[in-house]
């Protein structure tokens, strides 16, 4: 996986920037957090190393693929207020409207172009088209989307979060895959029951 030469520097900048704002992770009162049952005296550099991004990410036509490094995959992040995702968008790939309840997101463009946008609490859309080297920030818990719509090449991005476990709620699955009463959805969206059935079908 070939990243531009300045990616390593950007990685460090992202790390320092986000770690300065601990997000919703509790502040540590010691150097770092040690998992329960682990002897801290036996830890070495391997504990603070994550190799899960090696080899990049696989995608299929029109889809997306990702790898993540949250506290679940990388326990050394516990209490540090940071996590990272590596995501590839095949041409036509879309990450549908979603939100992260516990962290802000900083997007760094490695390759390609990406259409992005988030909506604030007044329903205003802040959209942009990103290119290689660009940054874009999504404030904590705001609904946003991303899509590779501009060309025929794969897009590669890094997401840095202000939480070691930012969480993710995808609106389509959340609304149409959680068994909300159909009448509630019909009234909320002003559509017929048949439309709701069609929207729910992929999630049941």
H/E stretch holding 183:
helix 182-189
Q: CA 197 → CA 155, 174, 183, 192, 193, distances in Å?
A: 33, 15, 11, 9, 6
Q: Give the distance from CA 3 to its chain's centroid.
A: 19
Binding residues for oxalate: 100
H/E stretch holding 73:
none
| DSSP state letter for 125 | E
Supply the Cα-derived Rg of the chain in whole angstroms: 19
Binding residues: 98, 100, 144
- Can you give 94-121 as a three-state secondary structure string? EEEEEECCCCCEEEEEEECCEEEEEECC
Binding residues for Mn(2+): 98, 100, 144
């Amino acid at each position: 996986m070939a990243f531009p030469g300045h990616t390593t520097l950007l990685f460090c900048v992202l790390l320092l920037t986000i770690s300065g704002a601990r997000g919703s992770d509790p502040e540590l009162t010691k150097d770092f957090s040690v998992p329960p049952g682990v002897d801290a005296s036996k830890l070495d550099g391997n504990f603070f190393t994550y190799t899960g991004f090696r080899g990049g990410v696989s995608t299929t036509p029109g889809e997306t693929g990702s790898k993540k490094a949250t506290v679940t995959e990388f326990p050394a992040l516990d209490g540090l207020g940071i996590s990272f995702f590596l995501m590839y968008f095949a041409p036509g790939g879309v990450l549908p409207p979603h939100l992260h309840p516990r962290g802000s997101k900083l997007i760094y463009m490695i390759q390609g172009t990406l259409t992005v946008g988030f909506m604030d609490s007044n329903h205003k859309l802040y959209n942009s088209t990103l290119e290689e080297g660009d940054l874009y920030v999504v404030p904590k818990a705001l609904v946003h989307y991303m899509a590779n719509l501009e060309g025929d090449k794969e897009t590669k991005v890094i997401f840095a979060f202000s939480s070691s476990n930012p969480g993710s709620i995808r609106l389509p699955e959340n609304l149409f895959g959680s068994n909300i009463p159909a009448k509630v959805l019909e009234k909320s969206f002003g559509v017929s029951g048949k439309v709701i059935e069609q929207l729910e079908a992929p999630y049941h």
